[in-house]
Amino acid sequence: MAKLLLGTALVLLACLELGSAYRLVCYFTNWAQYRPGAGKYKPENIDPCLCTHLIYAFAGMKNNQITTYEWNDVILYHTFNGLKNKNGNLKTLLSVGGWNFGTQRFTAMVSSSGTRQVFINSVISFLHRYGFDGLDIDWEYPASRGSPPQDKYLYTVLVQEMMAAFEAEGRSTGRPRLLLSAAVAGGKSNIDSGYEIPELGKVFDFINVMTYDFFGPWSHTTGENSPLYPLPNSQSALNLELNVNYAMNYWKENGAPAEKLNVGFPTYGHTFRLSSSNTGVGAPASGPGPAGKYTRQAGFLSYYEICTFLKSATMKWNAPQVVPYAYKGNEWLGHDDVKSFRDKVEWLKNNNYGGAMVWDLALDDFSGTFCNQGPYPLINTLHTGLGISQVCVPSKTAVRLVVPPMQAPSGGGSSSSDGSGFCAGKANGVYADPKDKNKYYQCVNEVSYMKHCAAGLVFDPSCDCCSWV
């Protein structure tokens, strides 16, 4: 019996050390910091043990070089990448682009070998400077939205050259190779026009398919944000194509390895304004529902806002499409919930996909105060369903904080952002707080920014980093 118990214990230990075979990739958005009150979200709100990969959205581009976007990105990078001090297995990537970024700067950058090389060199330097493990490319979309047809081919060339440079840099320095991923379209027309799928499938470490926004307030009828399957008894091409199952199969059948594909999971829903007494899926609609209190965007609700909406709404389960919907007065909501996430995870595993991608961390009920389901109810459903290890081991090597010279964020001058005046007369850099070991100052052009190490960590001047006591 003792031998049996010992053997069982060893198997359990091995499973814990190996963790899940699946990825759980979660996006962080650097504009969530501007939401009011309980909706405000910053890197310190992230549970470092929740996801296997975190992607910071978004970086920008200037003169064919990757750049920061928000005034305080450098400060947020430190906290974001410092999460690896608490989870040594966590990988962090920086995403460049996004919907609002458009296509023009991508088109200019990929247009020649020289401009591509400028971008690639800037990426390698930038990622290492701030402690990221890789790059995520979110070009929406090659050869669409003003991007010319040749960008389909040039996108492939960029990706191939980027990976070759990552591999060469890793060999020459002895550092782990930087990771390369992409956020890609879930709609067939954008897939066909923008991607050489077999070639991309050979290069990317993983591919995040944006299997959401299939229907929204831009549609003339109500529809689900991320339905797993098409509506039955409808033969329209859009109905047959605009669903998770079709999009993922299309990527796989056209040459992307299933194990590299991550299924997109939205932690938000879309609202419509009904224009008739019909309240079902496909009912006539005349635009977006009202903006949420915290996300403040018409036709869009975070999951924590959805929970508030549902308290006074009629809820329905859309069994054929494996997602719920709800309505209240003339407002109609298509969304996901814990049940739909659980069902989709089982489908994901049955189809041998590599993992899940979440857009985004700040839209789940991250505080656990709105839905009475605990913190991050949707993402925790993925975490559990994918068998992500509950063991979160601190990094053996503290993440170093790097502070290059930069412009003062809001007009410069000698004013101190935290009122301390600590950085007056000091060079740009990171300094210990003489009164509190858990705090440190970031000095940028003599402006002071007080930062906190994560709980349980102290600032160590010998490495300019937060480390364990």
Q: Quick one: 101 and 63 in the same domain?
A: yes
CB-based contact 31:69 (threshold 8 Å): no
Q: Quick one: 461 and 373 in the same domain?
A: no
CB-based contact 224:325 (threshold 8 Å): yes
CATH of the domain at 196: 3.20.20.80
| Tally of residues, the chain | 469
Q: Where do we find the tokens 């300094």?
A: 431
Q: Quick one: 352 and 417 in the same domain?
A: no
Q: Quick one: 139 and 209 in the same domain?
A: yes
Q: Quick one: 235 and 135 in the same domain?
A: yes
Helix or strand (DSSP H, E) at 317: strand 314-318
Banded model confidence at residue 13, pLDDT cuts 50, 70, 90 = very low
**Active-site amino acid positions:** 140
pLDDT of residue 417: 60
The torsion angles phi and psi of 148, rounded to 5 degrees, stand at -70, 160
End-to-end CA distance of the chain: 41
Give the range of the structural domain holding residue 228, as residue numbers without chain letter: 20-270+337-385
Name the more confident of 322 and 428: 322
Q: Quick one: 30 and 100 in the same domain?
A: yes
Q: Quick one: 109 and 196 in the same domain?
A: yes
For 177, other C-beta atoms within 10 Å of its C-beta total: 16
Residue 460 belongs to some domain of the structure: yes
Helices H / strands E in the chain, number of each: 12, 20
Give the pTM: 0.83
What 8-state DSSP symbol labels residue 229? S
Residue 275 belongs to some domain of the structure: no
Q: What is the mean pLDDT of residues 89-117?
A: 98
Give tens-digit pLDDT for 331-340. Answer: 999 999 999 9
Provide the domain count of the chain: 2
Is residue 375 over pLDDT 80? yes
Closest of 1, 54, 46 to residue 25, by C-alpha: 54
Residue 330 belongs to some domain of the structure: no
Beta strand 53-62 with 300-302 is: unpaired
Q: Quick one: 196 and 262 in the same domain?
A: yes
Residue 6 belongs to some domain of the structure: no
Q: Quick one: 143 and 245 in the same domain?
A: yes
440 exposed, middle or buried (CB, 10 Å; 0-12, 13-18, 19+)? Answer: buried
CATH of the domain at 416: 2.170.140.10
Q: What one-character-per-residue DSSP string does 244-288 give?
A: HHHHHHHHHHTT--GGGEEEEEESEEEEEEE-SS--STT-BEEEE
Residue 15 belongs to some domain of the structure: no
Is residue 372 over pLDDT 50? yes
Banded model confidence at residue 406, pLDDT cuts 50, 70, 90 = very low
Is residue 400 over pLDDT 70? no
Give tens-digit pLDDT for 310-328. Answer: 999 999 999 999 999 999 9
Tokens of 439: 């705090």
Q: Quick one: 351 and 425 in the same domain?
A: no
Q: Quick one: 48 and 135 in the same domain?
A: yes
Is residue 410 over pLDDT 50? no
Is residue 449 over pLDDT 60? yes
Final residue belonging to a domain, choices 385, 417, 451: 385
Positive/negative CA dihedral, 141, 145, 150, 154: negative
pLDDT of residue 12: 34
Residue 392 belongs to some domain of the structure: no
Mean pLDDT of the chain: 90
